[in-house]
Amino acid sequence: MSADSNTTAVCPGTYDPVTEGHLDIIRRAAELFEKVVVGVVAESPRKDTLFSIDERVAFLEESLPPEANIEVEVFDTLLVDFARKWGAKALVKGLRAISDFEYEFQMAQLNRKLAPDLETIYLMASPEYSFLSSSGVKEVARFGGRVDDLVPAVVARRFAELFQ
Amino acid sequence: MSADSNTTAVCPGTYDPVTEGHLDIIRRAAELFEKVVVGVVAESPRKDTLFSIDERVAFLEESLPPEANIEVEVFDTLLVDFARKWGAKALVKGLRAISDFEYEFQMAQLNRKLAPDLETIYLMASPEYSFLSSSGVKEVARFGGRVDDLVPAVVARRFAELFQ
Amino acid sequence: MSADSNTTAVCPGTYDPVTEGHLDIIRRAAELFEKVVVGVVAESPRKDTLFSIDERVAFLEESLPPEANIEVEVFDTLLVDFARKWGAKALVKGLRAISDFEYEFQMAQLNRKLAPDLETIYLMASPEYSFLSSSGVKEVARFGGRVDDLVPAVVARRFAELFQ
Amino acid sequence: MSADSNTTAVCPGTYDPVTEGHLDIIRRAAELFEKVVVGVVAESPRKDTLFSIDERVAFLEESLPPEANIEVEVFDTLLVDFARKWGAKALVKGLRAISDFEYEFQMAQLNRKLAPDLETIYLMASPEYSFLSSSGVKEVARFGGRVDDLVPAVVARRFAELFQ
Amino acid sequence: MSADSNTTAVCPGTYDPVTEGHLDIIRRAAELFEKVVVGVVAESPRKDTLFSIDERVAFLEESLPPEANIEVEVFDTLLVDFARKWGAKALVKGLRAISDFEYEFQMAQLNRKLAPDLETIYLMASPEYSFLSSSGVKEVARFGGRVDDLVPAVVARRFAELFQ
Amino acid sequence: MSADSNTTAVCPGTYDPVTEGHLDIIRRAAELFEKVVVGVVAESPRKDTLFSIDERVAFLEESLPPEANIEVEVFDTLLVDFARKWGAKALVKGLRAISDFEYEFQMAQLNRKLAPDLETIYLMASPEYSFLSSSGVKEVARFGGRVDDLVPAVVARRFAELFQ
């Protein structure tokens, strides 16, 4: 940010569905950067999603604070190309645990090979969300467990419709 | 950076001595923030330093690019108080390995308790420096091993005086 | 156990198939608690099982010591609901490695959200079983490798029928 | 607990000083066992303590709930001998992070060699205390940082006397 | 190698496709042993491969130095049986990260149970390849990202045909 | 071993004192290499030793099999210089746990910088010794605990003299 004063960051993810842990990272990124683009992966190459891309985007838009500096966008390209398109200076990711760290360490190096001028920065998950993942939440919801504190209200309602 | 356009970050450390790995993180931080304050711990509570605080500062000043946005400062207070004094919005740390991650996860949470509005952000060490630590370098130098690629020239010269 | 003297614990798992490592944990749990309910997941949400639920239960029942305080039961609900149904005070799990630790740390926090009065306690795997998993055993058996020391006799016989 | 109904567990530590994280584990152990003996290491073989053994015991006694089933005792023998003396069936330890896990995995195996009938059971630290350690707290207090949420009131007061 | 002077090692893998990281390990193994057999798993039991067994072998043969002491062979048996068939004294594997370490620790113990006289030895990945995996490379290539430095030329060409 | 048939490896350590875990690694190395030099660090730069260098060497010599291909030697230089002096092609180290892995990953990279033609190879600790360390053994022995299975007889006798 030394040179240009207008800085953008990308918070990428599948968000299937968005959790309170994701929202925490996005909000903290929005404190650090002038603009945050939440990049939603259209299709996950490694697994089917429970929610459609339209639902995943709608959950995010309904849950995020209506601040001017956060935008939700879909992408189906290489992440570094998406970041470039938006003129982003950095990717922002959350770290919850060692397994995140290892995966992210590898991704950071790979992405730097592909786009040397795009930095990836990491924020540590808040302790109250450090155990939280979309897949964990889905497993609980599937059996009718309460997930009200773990996901935004719009997602909790949708789970109730689906699994009860 | 949403509100105020003038952003400062702190890169804290003992820097006993500064390595090429430290310089890499500081330089990358200087790309992300308008001003970077390299905060040098006057005395390490847990271990004696090999180099005096004056030497450690001199090594940093001689090794860092003479860019306007990097400054080296000593501190002997709580890190969060030092950051506050400089109006810093964030601390920037490098992560090399799991053991870093665990220690830093705990420090990040502790520092957020002490200063909720100060964010800590992490950059992954570049692979070529991922094995590099001040203590490793000192162990090699002590036995006359070559450390020219691992530390800036001024430090390599000082090691040669000390141990040869 | 301060108040009520009659204490029950649940040892949950897919047990596809039960290994000597599982049996070690169940036996140790049965030393600590008055009653142990081995809870067998009817269907694994994340993967197909090699053995049917009836076979998995039969393997367990044939391998466990015929002590009065161990019972094998199937469940297809949320684990915390199964534990509640049996009046269990605790879940008992084994830890073999870091990857177990990370997964279990997250599950423990999630389960405490869902059932605050149900404690999860962990036992460290015995060294001789610390490398042992149902999936590893199946991979070996599939190619005709010897698994006699790794699973109870009834399972070893069944593998021989299947893969030889 | 199968055979004898009267069960005792030991929560060992240096407690220099006791933190809210320690208290959380001790309280949870007291729910699981009829009696909990908090075993305070008289002298730490690996490091000097900040507080004397009398202070460390006093902090614990003042902070623990005055329930009949928790007792604080000093020991300067092998931990397994202390546990035997009190007729304990189990040791109870908290796990916060991977580094704890690794150390504890090794200690559990070593202690089982020394006392095969003494089980060690682990509870996962509550997320809000997962970053908390006595040494971290001391570092913060030393520089005048606030530790009120991290340690019991009696310890916070003593820190204020010492470092302000 | 104390007794027999003629020593063979096996470098097993799925190689879907071979990366520069694999080649680095195979070359280093060929410095340590008189003969290296690169063992290519015909079918991966856990996942479909992108490339056929014939393509995977061809990529390896075209990329490896034409030294006399490296041979590429397919196997569809238990790894220890394949090693035995070739009279191998050791398996050679690369370690990039903690997750590798954990998986390999378990496999090493399992393989020693199955073949006590076959040793598994590990080489640390070179830092420049420590973030590199076949699956990561495939994900990048799928979206048209450049993988020229990460895989041998023959593989990069094939990716270009497939995904562009 | 491709070119020269006469291969030497170095097993370095402080051996304060040698444990059954060390002996296991040395014996396995002696199966793999024609000659193994056990390199004993004269003084540990990071900590005082309990036993003198003469005692540490004597323990090793008395415990090792009197095979022609194992030799015990002291060194007080850089490890890579010691290895070079003996014409060693490789260093051999044992890995017990993640913390070993991380430390060794960094040392391997550092040593390759210093001596590119010296390979470091790793063997996984046998499960029965995976929890064993010199410092753990000393802590147990200091309090009169039994260490007979953990160290060779000569060391166990010396502990008995020292601490009983």
Q: Tell whether the model's pLDDT for residue C1 goes beyond 60.
A: no
pLDDT along chain E (164 residues), means of 10: 66 97 96 95 79 96 89 95 96 87 84 91 90 90 89 96 86
Where is average pLDDT lowest: A41-45, A123-127, C86-90, C159-163? A41-45
Q: Is residue A3's pLDDT more than 70?
A: no
Q: In chain B, where are the structural domains located?
A: 8-163
B5-35 pLDDT, tens digit each: 569 999 999 999 999 999 999 999 999 999 9
Q: Phi/psi at E147 (nearest 5 deg)?
A: -125, 20
Task: Give the pTM.
Answer: 0.87
Q: Which entry of D22, D35, D56, D93 is annotated as an active-site residue?
A: D22
- Token pair belonging to A103: 């995966």
User: Given C33, C120, C122, which is nearest D1 (Cβ)?
Assistant: C33
Residue pointed to by tokens 């020991």: D75
| C-beta neighbour count of A67 within 10 angstroms | 10
Is it the case that residue F4 has pLDDT exceeding 60? no
Q: How crowded is residue A87: how many other Cβ atoms within 10 Å of its Cβ?
A: 13
Structure tokens at B112: 């957020």
Residues 6+ apart with CB under 8 A from A117: none
pLDDT at F155: 97
- Is a pLDDT exceeding 90 seen at residue D13? yes
Task: Name the residues of A annotated as catalytic.
Answer: 22, 47, 96, 134
pLDDT at position C45: 59
Eight-class DSSP state of A130: T
A-chain residues within 8 Å CB-CB of B95?
A: 101, 105, 122
> Nearest Cβ partner of B78 from D132, D133, D140?
D140
* Mean pLDDT within A30-37: 94
Give the span between the Cα atoms of C62 and C65, in whole angstroms.
8
CATH numeric code, D8-163: 3.40.50.620
Model confidence at D5: pLDDT above 60? no
Encode pLDDT of D23-62 as tens digits.
999 999 999 999 999 999 998 655 689 999 999 999 999 9
Give the residue among C19, C23, C21 at the shortest CA–CA distance from C128: C21
Backbone φ/ψ region at A140: left (φ over 0), alpha (ψ -120 to 50), beta: alpha
Is the predicted pLDDT of residue F1 greater than 90, yes or no?
Answer: no
What digits encode the pLDDT tens for the residues A100-112? 887 888 888 889 8
Digit-coded pLDDT (tens) for C15-56: 999 999 999 999 999 999 999 999 999 986 556 899 999 999
Question: Residue F59: pLDDT band by 50, 70, 90 thresholds?
Answer: very high
Q: List, for residues D64-81, the tens digit of each pLDDT value.
A: 988 779 999 999 999 999
CB contact under 8 A, F143 and D105: no
Q: What is the pLDDT of residue A45?
A: 59
pLDDT of residue A44: 65
Cα D99 from Cα D113, distance rounded (Å): 22
| pLDDT (0 to 100) of residue E91 | 97
Lowest mean pLDDT among D9-13, D99-103, D113-117, F17-21: D99-103
Place of tokens 């407690």: D15
In Å, how far is A80's CA from the nearest CA of chain B?
A: 17
Instruction: Give me the DSSP letters along D29-72.
Output: HHHHSSEEEEEEESS-SSS--SS-HHHHHHHHHHHS---TTEEE
Alpha carbon of B87: minimum distance to chain D alpha carbons (Å): 18
Q: Does E2 contact F31 at a Cβ distance shorter than 8 Å?
A: yes
Which one of E133, E142, E145 has the shortest CB-CB distance to A106? E133
Beta bridge partners of F12: F39
Residues of B in contact with A95 (CB under 8 A): 101, 105, 122
Is F102 within 8 Å of chain B by CB?
A: yes
C73 pLDDT higher than 50: yes
Q: How many A-E residue pairs are in contact by the CB < 8 A criterion?
A: 38
Q: How far apart are CA C91 and CA C118, in angstroms?
A: 7
Residue with tokens 């590099």: B132
Residue F104 pLDDT greater than 60, yes or no: yes
Whether the per-residue pLDDT at B47 is higher than 60: the answer is yes
Measured CA to CA, the distance from residue C7 to residue C3 in angstroms comes to: 10
Q: In the structure, what pLDDT confidence band is assigned to residue C2 with cuts at 50, 70 and 90?
A: very low
Q: Which residues of E are catalytic?
A: 22, 47, 96, 134
Read off the pLDDT band of A131 (50, 70, 90). confident
pLDDT of the residue at C44: 64
Average pLDDT value for chain D: 90
